[in-house]
Structure 1
Amino acid sequence: MSENAAYLWFLTRQHIELVLLSVLIASVVGVGLAVLTQTLPGLRRALLSVTGSLLTIPSFALFALAIPVMGLGVAPTIAALTVYGIFPILRNAVTGIEEVDPAAVEAARGLGMSSGRRLRTVILPLAWPVILNGIRTATIMLVATAAIGAVVRGPGLGQLIFQGLDRLGGANALEEALSGVIGVVCVALVLDLLFIAVAKITALRGWNV
């Protein structure tokens, strides 16, 4: 690991960027769907059911299914990770919005706030801790799943794991695979600490219940 520190750091950066980009897309989709279906409970339940069912697809199969459409590399990896990330974010966003005190919303309406302003200044800030927890859960889950993206030549630490397993029995093969596994664990820990810090910062600024 010491002799290949630069390469390890390069793959670690790739892994982090891959996960954060996928989580960002999943967050926009998940929170957006939760907001758009506030007055459509039937559609909301259907979306939760569909996105939850997608989590049952084995990761190897989902990555493979993306190949005919997107080929190999970054695109199918991000697409698969985004699919896996939507459900926990959508579920928490729905829960957070539903748990907002109706009295607070009515008070905002009484002050003459438009629906868009109520959403920005009342509903989302009050729901934020629950939403953030969903994003945090999705992020940690995708850190591990992103390693499997190496099967479609996706970037990140999964390359080390699969290269080591392919050469198992050869010189430094086990060490190569283990370095990838250790890297994934470290990335998960760092990102988890980052979300803890974000939660504390936003709480101090008033984005809390």
Structure 2
Amino acid sequence: MWDFIVDRRSQLLINAFNHVYLVLLAVVFATIIAVALAVLVTRMPRLEPLANAVSAIGLTIPSFALIGLLLPATGLGDTTALVAVTFYATLPILRNAIVGLQGVDANLMESARGMGLSEPAALLRVRLPLAWPVILAGIRVSVQMSMGIAAIAAYVLGPGLGVWIYTGLTQIGGKNAVNYALTATIAIVVLALLLDLLLILLGRVTTSKGIRV
């Protein structure tokens, strides 16, 4: 298998880069969407049961079923892959963002407003920083999950390491079928672990020392 990797290292690196790019782009979009929805839920508590239900039920939708629903609207290619990964990536972040924002002491928010901070300023300078460790935990779960889900991109002609997995499955019995699938799978696992390590480091850098666990 080592010779297989060496002979195709350029394509492997390209696929790995595309895979990580797809996941990170989806997680960035998912984080923005999830935090915005979480802020809305904290302002309108009656929406919390609905948000929790969507978060729980959404994870039960099979990825291929979601792709089937998206294809008439977005067609084959990168767009469908990005929308699908973003959808799943949003769910764990949304749940954690709601918990994190709700966990901020109301007295702290009152103190912030008493010091003259507007509602948006208090959100950005007090509430979100205090909720950030919990939100980041959701982002870490989201990234790990998205690394696997992104492999489905190959089925809609999207980018990433899923192309090699799909190639291996379609060439079962062929000379390099196992090498294609196994190499891509191992690469996804390794990249997922590296991204998680980077997120842990990001947490250390971006979390205030006063609330760091």
Q: Does 1:170 align with 2:174?
A: yes
State the 1:205 CA deviation.
6.6
Match in the other structure for 1:69: 73
Over aligned residues, Cα RMSD in angstroms?
A: 1.4
TM-score (norm 2): 0.94
| Deviation larger for 36-45 or 123-132 | 36-45
State the 1:102 CA deviation.
1.6
CA distance in 1, matches of 2:41, 2:101: 11
Render the CA deviation track for 1:57-101: whole Å, top value 9, x for unaligned.
Answer: 111111222111111010001111111111111110000011111
Q: Does 1:115 align with 2:148?
A: no
Count of matched residue positions in the alignment of Structure 1 and Structure 2: 209
CA distance in 2, matches of 1:13, 1:118: 38
Q: Does 1:101 align with 2:105?
A: yes
Counterpart mapping for 1:188-199 below 5 A:
188-199=192-203
CA distance in 2, matches of 1:57, 1:36: 24
Q: Percent identity?
A: 44
SS of structure 2 residue aligned to 1:169: coil
Match in the other structure for 1:203: 207
SS of structure 1 residue aligned to 2:43: coil
CA distance in 2, matches of 1:35, 1:206: 23
SS of structure 1 residue aligned to 2:64: helix
State the 1:204 CA deviation.
5.5
Tell whether the 8 Å contact from 1:125 to 1:207 is kept in structure 2 after alignment.
no
Counterpart mapping for 1:1-209 below 5 A:
1-203=5-207, 208=212
State the 1:52 CA deviation.
2.3
Tell whether the 8 Å contact from 1:202 to 1:208 is kept in structure 2 after alignment.
no
TM-score (norm 1): 0.95
Gaps of 5+ in 1: none
Tell whether the 8 Å contact from 2:55 to 2:95 is kept in structure 1 after alignment.
no
* Residue identity opposite 2:206 in structure 1: T
CA distance in 2, matches of 1:145, 1:191: 15
CA distance in 1, matches of 2:212, 2:49: 26
Tell whether the 8 Å contact from 1:150 to 1:156 is kept in structure 2 after alignment.
yes
Tell whether the 8 Å contact from 1:66 to 1:76 is kept in structure 2 after alignment.
yes
State the 1:37 CA deviation.
2.3
State the 1:208 CA deviation.
4.7
